[in-house]
Amino acid sequence: MFRTTRGSHGILACLTVGLVLALSACGSSSSGSDPTRDQVKAGFEEIVLSGLGQIDYEIPENILDSYTDCLVDEAFDDLSSDGRQALASKNFEEAVSQADRQVVADASAACADVVGELATPAE
């Protein structure tokens, strides 16, 4: 784990921006069956870890798990089938809808308290 004096608001902003930007490049090709919550969660995890890696941050595994659980709880039912499929397939080639990006941004804001003060920069 990394250490910092930067507060959770900065980390949360990075997570939100990273999620929305990553989703703007997510693929939306549907395979015919709707993915499970666990598959969508795995996609959220990959996006969060990728975004944090780009800014040289990481969060403890238990916080990542809680945060992505929260994202799935908040977003799953409101995402389109294509949006869920894009997350589950981790296909980052085509854009998902603006509506799905907004669902993820709203979910990230709703899950802000999960991040807390525990995400910190690399030394």
How do residues 54-76 score in pLDDT, each as one tens digit?
A: 777 777 788 889 889 999 999 99
DSSP letter assigned to residue 25: T
Query: Which contiguous run of DSSP H or E holds residue 121?
Result: strand 120-121
Instruction: Label residue 120 by pLDDT band (50, 70, 90).
Output: low
CA distances in angstroms from 8 to 50, 98, 117, listed in the order given:
18, 26, 5
pTM as predicted: 0.73
